[in-house]
Chains A and B, each alone.
Chain A
Amino acid sequence: MEQEQMTGASMVVRALQDQGVDVVFGYPGGAVLPIYDEVFQQNRIRHVLVRHEQGAVHAAEGYARSTGRPGVVLVTSGPGATNAVTGLTDALMDSVPIVLLSGQVPTFMIGNDAFQEADTVGITRPCTKHNWLVKETDRLASTIHEAFHVAMNGRPGPVLVDIPKDVQFASGTYVGPEAAQTGHYAPKVKGDIEVITSLAEAIETARRPIFYTGGGVINSGDRACELLRRLVDKTGFPVTSTLMGLGAYPANGQNWLGMLGMHGLYEANLAMHDCDLMINVGARFDDRITGRVQDFSPDSVKAHIDIDPSSINKVIHVELPIIGDVGHVLEDLLKVWNSRGATTDAPAIKEWWERINEWRKVDCLKFEQTGSTIRPQHAIQRLEALTKDHPDRYICTEVGQHQMWAAQYMGMNDPKRWMTSGGLGTMGYGFPSSIGVQMAHPDALVINVAGEASWLMNMQEMGTAVQYRLPVKQFILNNERLGMVRQWQELLHGERYSHSWSEALPDFVKLADAFGAKGIMIDDAADLDDGIKEMLAHDGPVVVDCVVEKHENCFPMIPSGEPHNKMLLGENADTGNAIKEGGAVLV
């Protein structure tokens, strides 16, 4: 094999090109200048200059989650790397493949408290899947290739490669992706066929089954989503999903129950509570899902398909653990079940659906829009109505009430269309994420459903959106409150609204204008549709300041510390003593 000599900096760019990277999100600084110099001298990789390194990571997350390819970030040493920490943690919690390259002070200055020095690998060790400090140029290329391998294989996650400046300047031998040692990291993808067979048997005899699906289905790939749809439709079993898994099974599919969990749908949560067979596909029994663990789905046999062995039996004990990639396991499951005759207990399933349909009649998402004050649910519902038929729509969200309303009222019919911060709950995720999505899909409709407080956390990215002419739609539900915090203070802190509102919000229309973008204000229900249409019609970044009811609570809700069948429904729910002492300590 031909061995090419080059500088570390050119190796970085070459390695990214060989990995098929087309976009890098980053911010330059002293310790990455040699790499930026190489970026300047090529045009295969597009660099997006963000306005803050946290934004770079979230943008890369949006890129990764909407494409299935790793998101790449380039930042400088010290503050560049520390600013990226929130994004890395977010990506770790939500299993998003990110490759972050950070500059570092030269090797001979490490440990001397040099200018812009930080112990980047030390700081990011607990918030990456793996990280490396490269001390020799000869090992740089293979380390970057290994980083991509680790980020993408097994349970995806963020990785970081820290590259001292002298390593970037020095020359070494480049190795390509094929020649690089990707180490021993090769998680098992095939599930244990014996357990898969037991699951097939359970599917045949179950009377009240449910599929509980999560982000793992989407991470596994389009094939896994297709197999899930086939399995759900062939069995006729109901299916619910976590926040992260929305779109794996289509929201317009006939077996769809809606999202489950703390703000999930009544029918989904009750079906989880009363089922006799729970098939967890790529979800992790998160505390937003389980409620009180001791009372979680007390009468069910549980199967859990997960590529990460540490997810199994971590929170909920399962009878049928299957370690493997969702796509591979579902393929085997379908094969086994088909070969056994593909039967279910049809009369029992029919009865089960009748029960579910009774729960559906509760219509847990109903609300009334009266008068001119816009209710946030109504705003989301109209946004959904006016955009759902768009052939290429992507939805991002920030974190809070608006996020839950978006999950409840918007339907995702395809995977990789829904970008939200689930595990970490990072306010400020949505806007930069929408930038990453739009970079990957220049012609698509990308909407960030936001709350004003979350949105302000990374509003500096307006500069990025305008500079790269990214027509991202920022749909801000403005209640001048930290809505979810306010809701919790109402429910369990005696309505003492400690620091959950802002008295100095900007004029969002003027703010958009100041950045050279379009701003629209909507404060009357009668103008809502026109405002949304105006937003959609504008070819460029838009900030919509949709002024909504200030004291709306997000329902349904499982109060913390309660089981699934103790849901609070909306409107006239008695919320007075909803959260008991034991629950108050939970988040």
Chain B
Amino acid sequence: MSQLNIKKGSSSHSAYDLRDYHEQGMERHTLALIVDNEAGVLARVIGLFSGRGYNIESLTVAEIDHTGHRSRITVVTTGTPSVIEQIKAQLGRVVPVHDVHDLTTEGVAVERELALFRVVGRGDVRVEALRLADIFRAQVVDSTLDSFVFEVTGTSRKIDAFADLMRPLGLEELARTGVVALARGEIDAEGGLT
């Protein structure tokens, strides 16, 4: 063993994973995939997660380049560091996947989610809901005498917090988009649209 110049368990020569592989805590990662917007591509990505037993916390997808037919899929997933590495390697193998970015490890990313809340009530609770909405910088996008629809944008935690506050005030329905995310700062050669 000692004859060899390489430390057991080290990955100092690895381009892949520089962390200690014994560390097996669960981590939450936000992955951004650039894919060909072709039939079945979303099914391939989702099928990979379900087929191999990986978690999906949230998933958003839309075409971002209409001429090049490219879509961006943002997946929030949880797993041990080795599982996260596997997920990225497996995604990279899918033929129509062009790029896999781990926004959690590649610097700092801005993460946002949009949610719509239907809150029904009259009198004091209605006033209170409106007041809290103002504090959360929520927009009122629909209103009747009995109800509001609020639009909130922010981190997933902010949306969770707002939902917790609205629940006793007559929250009837909630729709969330799931997370979208972009790396902060300038776009490097690999981090652009392509």
**Chain A residues in the interface with B (C-beta under 8 A):** 121-122, 125-126, 129-130, 133, 150, 183-185, 192, 194-195, 198, 201-202, 205-207, 276-277, 299, 301, 308-310, 312-314, 317, 319-321, 345, 348
Contacts and interface: CB of A to CB of B under 8 A. Distances in A.
Given A121-B40, A133-B39, A310 B10 contact: no
B53 to A, nearest CB: 13
Given A125-B47, A129-B95, A312-B16, A202 B5 contact: yes
A310 B90 contact: yes
A202 B1 contact: no
Given A125-B47, A205-B5, A150 B89 contact: no
15 contacts: A122-B43, A125-B43, A125-B47, A202-B4, A206-B3, A309-B89, A309-B92, A309-B93, A310-B92, A313-B16, A313-B17, A313-B82, A319-B6, A319-B14, A321-B15
Contacts, number: 88
B33 to A, nearest CB: 14
Contacts of B10: 319
Contacts of A129: 95
Contacts of B44: 125
Contacts of B4: 202, 205-206, 276-277, 301
B98 interface: yes
B92 A319 contact: no
A198 B13 contact: yes
B15 A313 contact: no
Contacts of B96: 130
Given A126-B51, A133-B39, A194-B13, A313 B21 contact: yes
B16 A321 contact: yes
Interface in B42-88: 43-44, 47, 51, 82, 85-86
A310 B39 contact: no
B13 A319 contact: yes
Contacts of A301: 1, 4, 6, 8
Nearest to A135: B39
A308 B16 contact: no
Given A313-B82, A345-B3, 16 more contacts: A121-B39, A125-B40, A125-B44, A125-B47, A129-B95, A133-B39, A195-B15, A198-B5, A309-B89, A313-B85, A314-B86, A317-B11, A319-B7, A319-B9, A319-B14, A320-B6
Interface string B16-33: 110001000000000000
Interface residues of B, number: 32
A314 B89 CA distance: 9
A478 to B, nearest CB: 38
Contacts of B47: 125-126
Contacts of B89: 309-310, 312, 314
A198 B3 contact: no
A310 B3 contact: no
Contact of B95 (A122, A150, A206, A345): A150
Contacts of B98: 184
B94 to A, nearest CB: 8
Nearest to A195: B13
A185 B95 contact: yes
Nearest to A310: B89
Contacts of A195: 13-15
Nearest to B48: A126
Given A129-B95, A192-B15, A299 B1 contact: yes
B14 to A, nearest CB: 5
A68 B92 CA distance: 25
Contact of B9 (A121, A308, A310, A317): A317
A122 B43 CA distance: 8
B13 to A, nearest CB: 5
Contacts of B21: 313, 317
Residue in B4, B43, B51 whose Cβ sees the most chain A Cβ within 10 Å = B4
Nearest to A199: B13
Contacts of B85: 313
The 3 closest A-B pairs by CB, nearest first: A310-B89, A130-B95, A309-B89
A320 B13 contact: yes
B18 to A, nearest CB: 12
B90 A202 contact: no
A156 to B, nearest CB: 13
A389 B45 CA distance: 50
Nearest to B82: A313
A184 B68 CA distance: 13
Contacts of B95: 129-130, 150, 183, 185
Interface string B79-120: 000100110011011011010000000000000000000000
A150 B94 CA distance: 11
A174 B15 CA distance: 43
A299 B8 CA distance: 8
A312 B85 CA distance: 10
B40 A276 contact: no
A201 B11 CA distance: 16
A207 B3 contact: yes
Given A130-B95, A309-B92, A202 B6 contact: yes
A321 B18 CA distance: 12
Given A126-B51, A202-B6, A301-B8, A276 B1 contact: yes
Contacts of A345: 3
B180 to A, nearest CB: 24
Contacts of A276: 1, 3-4
A457 B17 CA distance: 45
A313 B7 CA distance: 16
A309 B17 CA distance: 12
Contacts of A348: 3
Nearest to B2: A276
Contacts of B15: 192, 195, 321
Nearest to A348: B3
Contacts of A126: 47, 51
Nearest to B98: A184
